[in-house]
Amino acid sequence: MARRGGYRPEGLVVIGEADTEAAAAPGEGAAPDGGAAPGAGDGAGDGAGATVARGTGWGWREWGRWGWRQLTSMRVALLLLMLLAIAAVPGAVLPQRLQDAAGVAQYFTDHPSLAPWLDRFSLFDVYTSPWFAAIYLLLFISLVGCIVPRAFEHARVLRQPPPRAPRRFTRFPAHTAFASGLPLDDAVAQARRGLRGYRLREESVGSGDARVVSISGERGYLREVGNIVFHLALVGLLVSMAYGSLVHYRGQVIIVEGETFANSRLAYDSFDTGAWFDEDSLGDFRLRLDSFHAVFLPNGQADDFRADVAVIDADGAERPASIKVNEPLRVGGASVYLMGNGYAPKIQVHDAAGKLAFSATVPFIPTSNTSYVSHGVVKVADTSTGTQIGLNGWFLPAAQIIDDGAFADSTAPTPDDPALLLEVWSGDLGLDLGVPQNVYQLDTSRMTQSVREIDDGAGGTTTAPVRVEVRPGETVDLPDGLGTVTFESLPRFVGLDLRYDPTLGWVLGFALAAIVGLTGSLFLPRRRVFVRLGLDPRGRTVGTAAALARGDDPGLARELQRVTGWARTAPRTAATDTASTAATTAATADEESS
């Protein structure tokens, strides 16, 4: 026959739990008193420390299982992620063939001994190298093999109620004992109210005055959800970036005011694509640069750039648009960025026979961002005399030229007093050799420079390059009877960068999801709270409570106080105060005896 009351805050054995007392001590891989720590069993585990049942030897299956466990462990996933970051460093330090073929060629010229060795390890093609792809693929497999079982396990945990309250609470990091003047049923209702927001499991054993109620509450499931979301988002990032690198295209083009660019592969000055690039992904549109506006501060620094363009669709319809720095234009599925600008003087060259040999706008590339002193090259190949002409020169927006061009500079970036200062070469430009040339460099290996005699300051003479000064609207004779050069007008040019990558939205979404998931996994606490209530031999309600967290949780004790706060605010009498003191004393004595 059951005793009347007789409940102590510790030492109570719940029916069906008497055999669970042999629980691991804290710090030995299990939670205190047989209660599993929050999140235990939610993950697939590290896997690196897993053991394999050993017989007389391992076969290929055992080795395969062991290798799979290592690969899908979180430890190996983190190592592969760090290895991927390290492997990407050479791609940021060394020039890459797909992006800068000229830079790679120059590196071979500057480092003839080192460059071939680097090339053997694909360090000039890092992102398309087999070893980089292997790291990328292993990381993808590791993340998928690690997170998918973990997600299924957490889904299984979500369908289960919280664990039953363990037998002893005194070994928990936060525990308390209390007494209340409320009837048992009212105290149970208050305990439920204190655990609002927790998933609850309630069990009651005994009847009448011997009735004992145990409540288990658990919250913080979103912590593990955030962890899973973070890792799934990493997988999504890997997939999106890999697919984007395969189908993307990126091209650069220079457009002069009044000219029109058609979005075709041949129209780009440089063009880079992925392995799965489809010509159909090139949007059918044209861009016409109507005008370019530049605003500079008094010290010459740029304040604002704006390119006004007309977008011409496939049906011929036009619409105005503007492109600014960090404000790209979206057209044809691609983003059009404003990457640079400068001056493109329109130059005419007549040969020695007076025939027009060259007439075009020539972009001069700025060498200074404050004065806009710019360098450019004019290659005149089609002359009637057979002697080709090369002009290597500088454009000065606000020219300051001294001593026949021996010293030249620009006092402002705006075209207040523009001038061209040109050095003249004649001979063979080398355009018919079949070797690609840089349009901004003049190959003078088969040419002769026009020079003049000057006083060397010691009573003799020496030679110096002839530098021809030309201003807008002027026509100037070239030395050595080579012909004339005319500076017709001064339009502006812009450098545009067109990028097409259909995965950019996905990359952004997965990146945001990763941030949200990581924030949740770091800052959302995972807690379990247990409350046990019963009647003492005098019929007064007494109870114990304990809390357990996954990892360090400085707010665990405060949370336990909040959950049991109803006991401190309930109507109290001298008898309940005595019972509370007795409950605490009994709990301490029971802990010391255990």
Q: How many CA atoms within 13 Å lie on the side-chain side of 192?
A: 11
What's the CA dihedral at 22, 23, 25, 29 to 10 degrees?
140
The pLDDT of 563-590, averaged and rounded, is 55
Q: Which of 3-7, 244-248, 255-259 has the lowest mean pLDDT?
A: 3-7
Q: What is the pTM of this model?
A: 0.66
Give residue-wise pLDDT tens across range 176-200.
999 888 999 999 999 999 999 999 9
Q: Please provide the average confidence, as pLDDT, over all residues in the chain.
A: 83
CATH class held by domain 162-220+525-569: alpha beta
* pLDDT of 44 above 50: no
Backbone angles phi, psi at 569, to 5 degrees: -95, -10
Q: Which of 380, 361, 478 is CA-nearest to residue 431?
A: 380
**Measured distance CA(262)–CA(266) in Å, rounded:** 9
The pLDDT of 292-313, averaged and rounded, is 91
Q: How many CA atoms within 13 Å lie on the side-chain side of 104?
A: 17
Cβ neighbours of residue 527 under 8 Å, at least 6 residues apart?
38, 218, 219, 220, 547, 548, 549, 550, 553, 556, 559
**Measured distance CA(577)–CA(278) in Å, rounded:** 81
* pLDDT of 361 above 60: yes
**Measured distance CA(153)–CA(221) in Å, rounded:** 12
The pLDDT of 482-486, averaged and rounded, is 95
Q: What is the DSSP string of 432-443?
A: TSS----TTS--
What are the structural domain ranges in the chain? 62-158, 162-220+525-569, 236-343+496-514, 346-491
Give residue-wise pLDDT tens across range 45-79.
444 444 444 445 678 888 888 888 888 887 888 89
Most confident of 137-151, 162-176, 476-490, 521-535: 476-490
* pLDDT of 593 above 50: no
The pLDDT of 522-551, averaged and rounded, is 90
The pLDDT of 83-105, averaged and rounded, is 84
pLDDT of residue 368: 87
The pLDDT of 332-348, averaged and rounded, is 93
